[in-house]
Amino acid sequence: MRKNKKREFQSSELVKSFARIHGFEDKLVAFEIKDFLEDYLDEALFDEIKSVNLEDKIITIKVNSPLVKHDFQMRKSFFLKKFQEKFGENQFNDLQIL
């Protein structure tokens, strides 16, 4: 008869542990930011986001549309504050809209 192992992990814990070991925690956080934006923005605005990246505590959001890019730049401090509230104050220093 086989005994169940006492170590049981949730899949999210395993993914975070794997990311930490292999050094791509920032990419995992960038995916979480993109998921947050998908829930927060309407579909038309979200579709204009080309990519989200995090490097050296700076969030970089690449936007296709010049109008949407300008809107993000005007509300840069608002979005940075939202991200800091959601993911932690010390996790991000700046937000760049490209």
Distances (CA, A) of 65 to 9, 46, 72: 41, 11, 11
Tokens of 65: 């549309």
**Is 55 within the bounds of a domain?**
yes
- Given a contact cutoff of 8 angstroms between Cβ atoms, the answer to whether 26 and 59 are in contact is no
Residue 60 lies in a domain: yes
Q: Which CATH number characterizes residue 58's domain? A: 3.30.300.180
H/E stretch holding 14 reads helix 11-22
- Residue 5 domain-assigned (yes or no): no
Q: Is 2 part of a structural domain of the chain?
A: no
Mean pLDDT of the chain: 86
In-domain check, residue 57: yes
**pLDDT tens-place string over residues 37-75:** 999 999 999 999 999 999 999 999 999 999 999 999 999
Most confident of 2-11, 58-67, 85-94: 58-67
Is residue 3 one of the residues assigned to a domain?
no
pLDDT above 80 (res 6): no
Model pTM score: 0.79
Number of domains in the chain: 1
**Residue range of the domain that includes 42:** 25-97
